[in-house]
Amino acid sequence: MKFLQSFKLALQSILKSKMRAFLTMLGIIIGVGAVTVIVGLGNGMQNYITASFESMGTNLVQVNIQGRGASRTVSVDDMYALVDANPELLSYVSPMVGISGTVKIGSENIKTTSVSGVSEDYAKIASSELTDGRFIQYVDVLRRQPVCVVGSYISKNFYSGNAVGETLKVSGTAFTIVGVLKEDSNSEKGGSDDIIYIPYSLAAKMSWTGTISSFVFSGSDSETVDKAVTTIKESLYKVYKSYDYFSVVSMSEMLDSLMTMVNVMVIVLGAIAAISLLVGGIGIMNIMLVSVTERTREIGIRKSLGAKQKDILGQFVIEAATTSALGGIIGILFGALLCAVGTSIISSLTQEAITVAPSFTAVLGAFSVSVAIGIIFGYLPARKAARLNPIDALRYD
Amino acid sequence: MTPLIEFKDVFKIYNMGDNVVRAVDGISIQIEKGEFVAIVGQSGSGKSTCMNIIGCLDVPTQGQYMLAGKDVGTLNDNKLAEIRNKMLGFIFQQYNLLPKLTVLENVEVSLLYGNVPKGERIDRAKKALDRVGLTDKLEHTPSQLSGGQQQRVSIARALAGSPSVILADEPTGALDSKTGRDVLALLQELNREGNTIVLITHDNSIAATAQRIIRLADGKVVYDGPSGGKGAVVHAEDEEAVSQ
Ligand SMILES: Nc1ncnc2c1ncn2[C@@H]1O[C@H](COP(=O)(O)OP(=O)(O)O)[C@@H](O)[C@H]1O
Ligand SMILES: [Mg+2]
């Protein structure tokens, strides 16, 4: 009852001096807006990263061998043997040989396409499906056949969907397209559909080192991926007698560490933005102190009519909280606007579809924090008002 | 019967460094329920200080103030607020209405602090405004009313809480003489209806509206008797002679 009355009075006085109220809220608006955008950006990045990892499968294990000269090496056969020896942990393995040469289709040079040498099992490891033709086969690897499988972007863009049977050149070598992969992410340039797979044996020959140093394993179960990582590490340790010459990382570990990185970034940036909330709180306190002085007579009148200390305290705290809550709402709207702008800027600059959008909990949190700031920073001025001596207050003009 | 208001040797002394101001200097008075008393005296004689003590806005530095048999000096801030809310109605020279609220809301304020439920609150506020003849101004704000109307709103506000005492400090001070007379007539009517009224004024002719006059000079009672009584006027002349 008194709460409603105080709330109504607070809204009235805010509406009566809009400019002053706006300036009072500005710190809160900027703070809440900034936190909203930062959390939104963090969420967008995490969603994007998760989505791209999920399309690859999280039970993949990536092995990179930095090596230790020629004396100790692991061969492709060693890796296959590892899979055979641990069927309960590992399902497939494929070497990964990156080619940095240019792709030439017809007379056009394409620089965005990523070209990798893989085995016939790679389709199963990466859960890639084909819309046309076939994947690379064991005989292609064995005979180093110049055949390739292309992503949907290449097929759509350069062959209007009928790529099978056509040829393209990678670093001067002509390849026959034998299969087209199913679209993974909107067939965008530079995305996961702008790819070419060739037999790893041929890729190794084309790459200037001629060695194979990366492998991808698929774990048989996402529950046992950690155990698979340990098993691979142990067997590589037997070869190198040290953990320094290779790295074995599961996709879920990689995902975890990326998520942690994004979280840290959000927390650091968010903390910086939160300083603005503090400044906003001080702004509210300042205006509330002015307001208490301006309304000394009103306080005196209310006390003469029987207002208790807690009534006056409540009135001013509610007014401060209403001001900051309103600032919080405007800040959230402002942040949502910035998020929309951010999304379109990112997509126009990088062609990546990162949606900048804060979670509902973040928005709710920002709102609660702004109300809390109003209560905390409004308390001191409100207490000053509540403790005024009624006669002095009545006499004040 | 216990008097409604009783001062037992009340002092209010301000210590301003080496300068001691005895605003109320040993006053003992009794006011019964249903009386219409004027406290009169020159400026600085201690009238407002007396009213602040009666109104529980201030406490004596010495002596006892009993309100309806209860020693006010023993009460805390919260209890004093409660007494102001339930037992006292104030009418000020400057009306002291809340400018942002409507007439009706102004009258409701003290009921709000008394936790009177909404329906009853509006009823009582309307009845009080009806009593002072402002039924057609409920939704106006104070600035839209004349001085006399504003003072009537403040009378309605004092009435709405059905207080034991209505305290009026120079209620006609800011009004022209005609409007002032109307306000005094209203106070007289309210007294006839059973309300206890304490009127504070420096003006002898206004004090004459009351049944009983308590004249103060330098914080002391110099006359306490019927308004028609001889001493009421004689003393006034003495006082003027002294001050000249
Ligand atoms: N807060 C105060 N501090 C010091 N002196 C005061 C205070 N309030 C009133 N006085 C003094 O007490 C005396 C009585 O004041 P007051 O009761 O206001 O007189 P009145 O209302 O009759 O004009 C005056 O001399 C005044 O200056
Ligand atoms: Mg006075």
DSSP B189-221: HHHHTT-EEEEEES-HHHHTTSSEEEEEETTEE
Answer yes or no: is B224 within a domain.
yes
Answer yes or no: is B90 within a domain.
yes
**CA torsion angle for A100, A106, A107, A108 (degrees, to 10)?**
-50
User: What is the C-alpha separation between A297 and A291, in angstroms, rounded?
Assistant: 11
Residues facing A249 on adjacent strands? A62
List Cβ neighbours of B50 (8 Å cut-off, separation of 6 or more): B24, B27, B39, B200, B216
Q: What atom in ligand 1 is closest to the CA of residue B51? A: 17
- Side-chain-side CA neighbours of A138 within 13 Å: the count stands at 0
Tokens of B210: 């009351």
B117 within 8 A of B82, measured Cβ to Cβ: no
Name the minimum distance, in Å, from the CA of B233 to any CA of chain A. Answer: 31
Chain B residues in contact with A309 by the CB 8 A cut-off are 77-78, 81
Cβ distance B113 to A1 less than 8 Å, yes or no, reads no
Helix (H) or strand (E) holding A292: helix A251-294
Helices marked H in chain B: 47-54, 77-87, 103-113, 118-131, 147-160, 177-192, 204-207, 230-243
What is the rounded average pLDDT for all residues in chain A? 89
The pLDDT of residue B176 is above 70: yes
Name the minimum distance, in Å, from the CA of A373 to any CA of chain B. Answer: 27
Range B189-205 average pLDDT? 94
Answer yes or no: is B119 within a domain.
yes
CA-based nearest residue in chain B for residue A387: B77
Q: Which residue has the tokens 């062959």?
A: A159
Summarize pLDDT for B109-137 with one digit per residue, the tens: 999 999 999 999 999 999 999 999 999 99
Q: How many residues does chain A have?
A: 397
Range B224-243 average pLDDT? 64
CB contacts < 8 A (A, B): 62
The pLDDT of residue B205 is above 50: yes
Chain B residues in contact with A305 by the CB 8 A cut-off are 84-85, 90, 109-110, 113, 157
Given phi > 0 = left and psi -120 to 50 = alpha, else beta, which region is A178? alpha
Chain A residues in contact with B90 by the CB 8 A cut-off are 304-305
Q: Is the CB of B41 under 6 A from ligand 1?
A: yes
The pLDDT of residue B13 is above 60: yes
A370 within 8 A of A28, measured Cβ to Cβ: yes
Cβ distance A306 to B86 less than 8 Å, yes or no, reads yes
Tokens of B141: 């704000």
Query: For position A309, what pLDDT does the model report?
Result: 94
What is the rounded average pLDDT for all residues in chain B? 91
Question: Does pTM surpass 0.80?
Answer: no
B44 within 8 A of B205, measured Cβ to Cβ: no
Q: Indicate the residue of A2, A306, A394 with minimum beta-carbon distance to B82.
A: A306
B98 within 8 A of B72, measured Cβ to Cβ: no
The pLDDT of residue B193 is above 80: yes
Cβ distance B77 to A12 less than 8 Å, yes or no, reads no
How far is CA A19 from each of CA A14, A15, A22, A26, A143, rounded to the nearest angstrom? 9, 9, 5, 10, 78
The pLDDT of residue B240 is above 70: no
Helix (H) or strand (E) holding B229: none
Given phi > 0 = left and psi -120 to 50 = alpha, else beta, which region is A306? left
Give residue B16 CA to ligand 1 midpoint distance, Å: 12
Give residue B44 CA to ligand 2 midpoint distance, Å: 7
| Better-scored residue on pLDDT, A238 or B238 | A238
Residue nearest to atom 16 of ligand 1 (CA): B46
Residue nearest to atom 10 of ligand 1 (CA): B23
**In which domain, by residue range, is B172 found?**
36-46+77-243
Q: Indicate the residue of A1, A301, A304 with minimum beta-carbon distance to B118.
A: A1
Query: For position A254, what pLDDT does the model report?
Result: 86
Give residue A384 CA to ligand 1 midpoint distance, Å: 25
Give residue B179 CA to ligand 1 midpoint distance, Å: 28
Query: For position B243, what pLDDT does the model report?
Result: 47
Report the candidate in B219, B238, B239, B223 with the shortest Cα–Cα distance to residue B23.
B219
Phi, psi of A359 (to 5 degrees): -75, 165
User: What is the C-alpha separation between A354 and B191, in angstroms, rounded?
Assistant: 78
Name the minimum distance, in Å, from the CA of A397 to any CA of chain B. Answer: 11
User: What is the C-alpha separation between A235 and A227, in angstroms, rounded?
Assistant: 12
Domain with residue B146: its CATH number is: 3.40.50.300
How many structural domains does chain B have?
Answer: 1
List Cβ neighbours of B157 (8 Å cut-off, separation of 6 or more): A305, B89, B97, B106, B107, B109, B110, B128
Query: For position A212, what pLDDT does the model report?
Result: 84
Split chain A (397 residues) into runs of 10 and give each run's mean pLDDT: 78 86 92 91 88 78 78 79 90 90 87 91 89 93 94 91 91 93 81 90 84 87 86 88 87 88 91 88 93 94 94 93 94 93 86 81 88 94 94 87
The pLDDT of residue B244 is above 60: no
Alpha carbon A361 to chain centroid, angstroms: 16
Helix (H) or strand (E) holding B72: none
Q: Indicate the residue of A9, A301, A391 with minimum beta-carbon distance to B52.
A: A391
Name the minimum distance, in Å, from the CA of A392 to any CA of chain B. Answer: 10
Give residue A310 CA to ligand 2 midpoint distance, Å: 29
Q: Is the CB of B44 under 6 A from ligand 1?
A: yes
**Strand locations in B5-105, DSSP E?**
5-16, 19-31, 36-41, 62-67, 70-71, 88-91
* Structural domain boundaries in chain A: 3-53+260-395, 69-241
Query: For position B103, what pLDDT does the model report?
Result: 96
User: What is the C-alpha separation between B23 and B43, in angstroms, rounded?
Assistant: 11
